[in-house]
Every structure is written in C-alpha cells, then in structure tokens.
Amino acid sequence: MTLKHPAAALVALALFAMQLTACGGPRTGRVSGDGEVVYEDPQAEETVTTHWGSTDLQTTAESLTQSLLASRWIKDASAQPKIRLREVRNFTDEHIDTKGITDKIRIMLLRSGLVRFLADDANLDAVFAERDLTETATRRGANKLLADTDYIITGTVRSIRKRTKTVGDVYYQVSLELTDPQSGEIVWADEKEIRKLTTKPTIGW
C-alpha cells in the first residue's frame, strides 16, 4: 500500500509518532511507586502532633513580618534600612530549626522591597571576638561593618508544656526585636503566640 496524497502521509506519520509515544512511557507526567504517597498543600494546616510544625513556622514568620513592615522604622524610613538578621534562639524542649524561621522572614522582607539585607555570615560574635584579639588592626574594619548596619533583628522561641493523663497542652511564644546597633536601643518588638491541645481517647487499641 502506498500513500499517494501528502496529507495522508502526514496523518500516517502523526499517528505513527503518537503510537511511539504511547509505547515509550507515561503520558501523564507522573511516575508512582507502590506506596500511598500524595502531594499535599504545603500551606495547609498541619495538626499531626503538638510538636512545632510547618503551620507554626509559616504563621509565625508571616505574622511577625507583617508587623515589622508596618512599623514606622521600616515603613516610614527615608531610605531603605540596611538590616542584619541574627539567629532566632531556641529556648524550647524541641529541635526547632530556627533558620527556617529567619529564612522565611528574610524572603518576605526582601520581597517587600522596603529593606536591604547585609550578609549575615559575619556573625557579630565572631566580629567582636576578632576585635578582641587584634584591637588596633581590625577595629576600623569591624566598626565599619557595624556602622553600615541600620538595624539588627534577633529573636527567641520559648515554650511551656503541660500534661495530664488525658490532656497535653503546649504554648509557644516567638518574639522578634529590631535593635539599633549604633545606640544599642531596641526600637521595635513583637511576638506571636500559639497554643496546641491534644486529648487522649478513653478507649482504644
């Protein structure tokens, strides 16, 4: 059989290509294994346990960032303030990766366009320690480093955990501060509080 008409030849070629694709692999762009794995909304409320979770991280970072952006030191600044973000210190009994909180805050602040971030790998403690060792040599360098900074953001996470035979309650308090390194004055502070409750069933396996 020959294909005399060019259109027919094209159609045949297209059909042949489709058949090859059908044999070549999945057409839906998904490959799954034997288990029950599904993608979920990363921003959905997570209530798997009372431990620190994704919802706590997201709501805390978003809430505190909104508050900081509304403060007059950021909103009404004549020029974009230069900020260093220090660590949020963990005073709880959980292994909370506080860098997740600071990363999210940094991303949101940068997206706002209202602030400028300075590299925070020059940890202030290291700067001061270096100054302790060779005061005359590094003083000018270290002072210049700090003089370039308008504000420093620090924070803490604390928790209170209580438990009875049937009820478990945990309270988280995340606080953030904006400090002027030139004067040492804390110009802004805010906190986010979270409480989670879990109850045991009376009868079960």
Partner 1 sequence: MSRISLFSLIVLCVLLLAGCGRSTHIYADNKDVEVDSITHIQDGEFLVVSAVLVSSDNDDATHSVYRMLWFDADGLLLEQTSWRPVVVKGGAPVHIRERSTIPGAAEYTLLISNDAS
Partner 2 sequence: MARCITATTFLVCSLFAGFSGGCASRVPTDEIRAAILSGEVDDLEKRLEETHEEYSEMVTALNLARVRQMDGRWADSARAFDEALAILEEYESRALVNIRALASGAGTFLLSRGAESYFGAGYERSLLHTFNALNYLMLGDIPGAAAEIRRMEQRQAFWLEESQARIEKILENKEKVYDSPEELPQGYSMREILSDEAVRGLVNNYQDAFSYALGAVLLRLAGDLQAAGVNMRRAMTLDDKAGRFFEQAWPAAAGGASLKRRDVPPLPGKRPDAVSPAGKRTRKRPDTQEVTIIGFTGLAPSLGVENVRIWVPVVGHILIDLPAYTQRAVPGSTLLASGPARKQIALHPLLRTDLLAYRTLWDSMRAEAGFAVSRAVSRAGIAAGAYLVAKSNSATRDYAEIIGSLTMLFLDLTAQSMSSSVRNWETLPNTGYLAGTRVPRGAEVTIASGGSEQRIILPEEAQGIIILATEMSAANLKVYHVTY
Select the binding partner of residue 116 from partner 1, partner 2, none (C-beta < 5 to 8 A, by kind).
none
Select the binding partner of residue 65 from partner 1, partner 2, none (C-beta < 5 to 8 A, by kind).
partner 1
Q: Is 79 left (phi over 0), alpha (psi -120 to 50) or beta?
A: beta
Spatial contact of 102 and 88, defined as CB atoms under 8 Å apart: yes
| 174: β partners | 157, 192
Residues 31-90 that bind partner 2 (CB under 8 A): 89-90
Select the binding partner of residue 95 from partner 2, partner 1, none (C-beta < 5 to 8 A, by kind).
partner 2
**Element (DSSP H or E) covering residue 110:** helix 98-112
Kindly tell me which of 36 and 125 has the beta carbon lying closer to partner 2: 125
Spatial contact of 120 and 148, defined as CB atoms under 8 Å apart: no
Among the listed residues 171, 159, 172, 175, the one whose alpha carbon sits nearest the alpha carbon of residue 64: 175
In this structure, the chain runs to a length of 205
Select the binding partner of residue 78 from partner 1, partner 2, none (C-beta < 5 to 8 A, by kind).
none
Select the binding partner of residue 47 from partner 1, partner 2, none (C-beta < 5 to 8 A, by kind).
partner 1
Kindly tell me which of 112 and 138 has the beta carbon lying closer to partner 2: 138
Kindly tell me which of 106 and 131 has the beta carbon lying closer to partner 2: 131
Among 43, 182, 198, 199, binds partner 1 (CB under 8 A): 43
Among the listed residues 49, 90, 60, 44, the one whose alpha carbon sits nearest the alpha carbon of residue 197: 49
What's the rounded Cα separation, in Å, for the pair 17 and 39?
32
Contacts of 95 (CB under 8 A, 6+ apart): none
Among 51, 53, 62, 161, binds partner 1 (CB under 8 A): 62
Spatial contact of 101 and 173, defined as CB atoms under 8 Å apart: no
The binding site for partner 2 (CB under 8 A) comprises 89-96, 98, 124-125, 128-129, 131-133, 135, 139, 143, 146-147, 152, 154, 161, 163-166, 179, 181-184, 186, 198, 200-205
Q: Which stretches of the chain bind partner 1, using CB under 8 A?
A: 41, 43-45, 47, 55, 58-59, 62, 65-66, 69-70, 75, 108, 111-113
